[in-house]
Amino acid sequence: MEKLVIEGGKPLSGNVRIHGAKNAALPILAACTMAEGVHRIGNVPDLLDIHVMLDILRALGCKAELKDDVVSLETSSAQSSHIPEELMRQMRSSIFLMGPLLSRFGHVQVYQPGGCAIGERKIDLHLKGLQALGAKIEESGNTIKCSVDRLRGTDITLDFPSVGATENIMMAAALAEGVTTISNAAREPEIQDLQNFLNAMGAKMIGAGTDTITIEGVERLTPRAYRVIPDRIVTGTLMVAAAATRGSVTLENVCPAHLTSVIHVLKRAGVQIVASDDIIHVSNSSRPRAVERIVTSPHPSFPTDLQAQLMVLLALADGISVVKETVFEGRFKHVDELSRMGADVRVDLNSAFIRGVPRLYGATVEATDLRAGAALVIAGLAAAGTTIVEQIHHIDRGYDQIEIMFSRLGAKIERFSPVRHLKVP
Ligand code: EPZ
């Protein structure tokens, strides 16, 4: 398996352009199946998860191509609504294809996506939402069959503001008969991007970004060209890396308004941040301050997807910080790996107590999931000595050539493939 080799201790500096948001592009690509014809979706990052989604769309009969950062997608030829189990296993979030395929074909077959390193990842809220819209759901083993004559609008209240469930219900309701309201909806920027795309195709939807979304069903949707928002989690990852290496970095093609809580926490840690339009400048010249308490929570609170990365900065801070993870029950897998690099972190249930140390030291560590892997790269960049990060396929799911991104900012980081025993160009 490929690995990253990092010579730490070099402050990051320079400019880098942030790629499009994986978690906006995925539901938007799924929504394309609701309108027959050719879609052109821009600012789509070249990531493993995107390629899995394109493979799923091809398996359904679509023609799909990613060239530069534009996906051309012909959906008229789609004739199946059976998502292959192998592909579902590769990317659990393909579950939000249920809504679009159900509204297009009246039936869909998927498989229980199962848990992953960060938690159980249940889908009960997705299924309850589709059932409320009139779908019949049959589960046998890990197969889920869903069918309906015509989806009918209704009022739905989510027990938890699930991002995926909100997206699935929005897409299913777009072509339903009548009006649907989603209460306690997720408020993430990716939800707003999905609403904007669906409305561009002719849907009638308002409220995304608030906790109540109202959807008036329409008869049909029309294919569109669209450009996906920047990736706020990749942006936040680079902000933390700049701060942890005591560097000075300018991030381009970003949306500061999507990162208000992250900017607030980093400023509390003593990091200098200047944000305007589509630029964020991050610099830090001294040891970070501890932040006494951070709680991850649905947007607009501090995002769970940046918890592991922030922990690296706090592991180097002057003092004790406490991070409480309230979204996923298993999202502290990076703690053991950081401890091997000299971090002093104690986990008790869903809280991590981080006593800052003056320095981290290079070690061989293993990425357990996407964002934990990104955190280990940041730790390697900040540490003294050499760090080897293994199982980096996890990282490639959400970061387009992470080593290139950091090399452009002055980092000494290389990708090695054991097959060729050579540096990957
Ligand atoms: C999306 O996952 C993101 N993925 C995740 O990003 C992100 O961490 C998460 O939202 C929270 O912001 C994509 O958008 C592709 P949820 P999703 O449904 O939709 C529970 C990354 O690193 N839940 O909001 O799966 C669930 O178990 C990834 O890019 C139910 O109980 O997240 C979890 O504890 C990781 N029943 C919590 O809600 C359900 O039916 C949040 O899940 C659905 C969810």
Query: What is the average pLDDT value for the chain, to the nearest integer?
Result: 96
Domains identified in the chain, total number: 2
Does residue 93 fall inside a structural domain? yes
Q: Are residues 237 and 133 in the same domain?
A: no
Q: What pLDDT is stored for residue 116 in this prediction?
A: 76
Q: Are residues 69 and 218 in the same domain?
A: yes
Q: Are residues 279 and 335 in the same domain?
A: yes
Q: Are residues 223 and 234 in the same domain?
A: no
Q: What pLDDT is stored for residue 121 in this prediction?
A: 85
* 284 in a labelled binding site: no
Token pair in block for residue 187? 């408020």
Choose the final residue of a domain: 210, 227, 244. 227
Does residue 311 fall inside a structural domain? yes
Degrees, nearest 5: CA angle 261-309-115: 100
CB neighbour class for 254 (10 Å; exposed up to 12, middle 13-18, buried from 19)? buried
Give the nearest ligand 1 atom to 161 CA: 24
Does residue 400 fall inside a structural domain? yes
In DSSP notation, 159-218 reads SS--HHHHHHHHHHHHTSBSEEEEES----HHHHHHHHHHHHTT-EEE-BTBSEEEEE--
Residue to mutate (ligand 1; options 19, 22, 23, 139; most atoms within 8 A of CB)? 23
Could you tell me the distance, in angstroms and rounded to a whole number, from the CA of residue 164 to the centre of ligand 1? 6
* 17 in a labelled binding site: no
Q: What pLDDT is stored for residue 22 in this prediction?
A: 97
Q: Which domain holds residue 11?
A: 3-19+230-416
Does residue 423 fall inside a structural domain? no
Q: Are residues 14 and 48 in the same domain?
A: no
Give the nearest ligand 1 atom to 128 CA: 40
Q: Are residues 204 and 272 in the same domain?
A: no
Residue to mutate (ligand 1; options 126, 128, 163, 188; most atoms within 8 A of CB)? 163
Choose the final residue of a domain: 204, 227, 250. 227
Degrees, nearest 5: CA angle 372-373-379: 90
Q: What pLDDT is stored for residue 114 in this prediction?
A: 72
Cα–Cα dist 16/23, whole Å: 20
Does residue 267 fall inside a structural domain? yes
Q: Are 279 and 343 in contact (CB under 8 A)?
A: no
Residues designated as active site: 116
Could you tell me the distance, in angstroms and rounded to a whole number, from the CA of residue 327 to the centre of ligand 1? 8
Q: What pLDDT is stored for residue 248 in this prediction?
A: 98
Q: Are residues 10 and 29 in the same domain?
A: no
The enclosing domain of 409 has a CATH number of: 3.65.10.10
CB-ligand 1 contact for 165 (6 Å cutoff): yes
Neighbours of 333 (CB within 10 A): 18
Q: What pLDDT is stored for residue 419 in this prediction?
A: 67
Choose the final residue of a domain: 175, 202, 227. 227
Neighbours of 41 (CB within 10 A): 24
Q: Are residues 375 and 268 in the same domain?
A: yes
Give this prediction's pTM.
Answer: 0.97
Cα–Cα dist 98/145, whole Å: 10
Q: Are residues 153 and 270 in the same domain?
A: no
Name the residue at shortest CA distance from atom 8 of ligand 1: 305
* 419 in a labelled binding site: no
Does residue 425 fall inside a structural domain? no
Name the residue at shortest CA distance from atom 17 of ligand 1: 164
In this structure, the strands spanning 13-17 and 248-252 are parallel
Structure-derived torsion over alpha carbons of residues 201, 202, 208, 214, reported in degrees to the nearest 10: -150
Q: Are residues 277 and 410 in the same domain?
A: yes
DSSP H or E segment with residue 294: strand 294-296
Name the residue at shortest CA distance from atom 1 of ligand 1: 163
Q: Are residues 167 and 247 in the same domain?
A: no
Does residue 424 fall inside a structural domain? no
Cα–Cα dist 386/390, whole Å: 13
Q: Are residues 31 and 103 in the same domain?
A: yes
Q: What pLDDT is stored for residue 240 in this prediction?
A: 98
Does residue 396 fall inside a structural domain? yes
Which regions of the chain are under pLDDT 70?
115, 419-425
